[in-house]
A and B are shown apart, each in its own frame.
Chain A
Amino acid sequence: SQELEQSPQSLIVQEGKNLTINCTSSKTLYGLYWYKQKYGEGLIFLMMLQKGGEEKSHEKITAKLDEKKQQSSLHITASQPSHAGIYLCGAEGGSNYKLTFGKGTLLTVNP
């Protein structure tokens, strides 16, 4: 089965700072999804990457998938308190539509 490891497990930054969260897979990624979860709530879709070397941005969040399709990073520029939450990466299997998730990275942004 596919395993996803996220690092760091938690992160505390000062408002305005940049940060990066990583997601590493034990197998080739066919589809890599980033979700955000506020404590005690459901997951909100951020971005999805499929092709090696692909990069997508939305507002101040940029996600990349490496060429080998085994690692993804999520970068937040000029962080704000609204960015606080748990960021989870999820991966599709090779031929199905189920997502396996990492444990998440807890982000705290101090004003």
Chain B
Amino acid sequence: AQSVTQPDIHITVSEGASLELRCNYSYGATPYLFWYVQSPGQGLQLLLKYFSGDTLVQGIKGFEAEFKRSQSSFNLRKPSVHWSDAAEYFCAVGEGNTPLVFGKGTRLSVIA
């Protein structure tokens, strides 16, 4: 069965530090990959997506993610975290003709 795993439930980083959020998936073919962010009291907003081509994709708010087929991973990174990045982050995977499957999310806290 298709699945998406976000191993970290909660991560705390210091403002200005680098960030990496992990996402692993289990799919038969090359999937479509997404990262969404949900700020408190808000809906989800797309940060970035990967369909094909360059395996390093750039997104909004300074985020990037790298698709590694050999590791079935699509980790999200940011070189320097800002306090406003505190939110819940969701990895999602699809195969084109099936609805997206979302991970359970990783909650990011940012401390001064």
Do these two chains really belong together in a complex? Answer: no
